Amino acid sequence: MKLIFSILWALSVFGASCAAQSVCRAELADAPALFNLKLGISPAAAQGVLGKDLKIKNKRSGEYTFFQNFIERKAPVSLAGARALYLRFYDGALYQIEIFYEDETIAQTPESFINRQPAKFNLPLEAWKIKYGIAEINCGAFSLAADKFLNPHVELTDETIRAKVEAARKRD
């Protein structure tokens, strides 16, 4: 009986550790920086990172956006390798960073993107999921997705603020 109990206990511990490996639980502060931009920073802080050319537009009440493509002109040094940048702010905080990269700048497939990220972003490799050509990890406080439908594309999102934005849009 003790042997069976010990085996069941060991299996439950092993199962729990395997389950823990396949889930990403991280705080917003643990979200990676993209081009030195961190989720939660203010528009002024984003402007400090990207320079004075950052012109943020009021989209709706509390929502502000910045979009710039670098198709006809080269990206500044601070955004080297970017083809387009889209920043979304809500109530004074950056909640989504969307970047389209030049083809040669970043991994070409979701699988190769995932395999390059563990050391760079410190996110658990086992927690990534690939579906319909999109690699995604949801860490509770934030999510990160990567795909290559046209150009390599990465989207980092503060999930708490995204929920607030969606609720505000439904009210309007």
In the chain, which stretches have pLDDT less than 70? 1-21, 52-54, 104-108, 116-119
pLDDT at 152: 87
In angstroms, rounded to a whole number, what is the distance separating the alpha carbons of residues 144 and 169? 22
pLDDT at 19: 43
CA 159 remoteness from chain centre = 10
Cα radius of gyration (the chain): 19
Domain range summary for the chain, segments of one domain joined by +: 24-171
SS3 at position 16:
helix
SS3 at position 73:
coil
Confidence (pTM): 0.81
Strands (DSSP E) found in the chain? 57-60, 63-69, 82-90, 93-101, 129-131, 134-138, 142-148, 152-158
Long-range CB contacts (within 8 A, 24+) of 80-83: 81/105, 81/106, 82/35, 83/151
Residue pair 149/142 in contact by the 8 Å Cβ criterion: no
pLDDT tens-digit map of 81-115: 899 999 999 999 999 999 998 876 666 677 777 77
In angstroms, rounded to a whole number, what is the distance separating the alpha carbons of residues 44 and 107? 31
- Tell the residue number behind the tokens 């955004």, with chain if given: 79
Residue pair 161/100 in contact by the 8 Å Cβ criterion: no
pLDDT at 139: 95
Longest alpha-carbon distance in the chain? 74
Using a pLDDT cut of 90, give the percent of the chain over it: 38
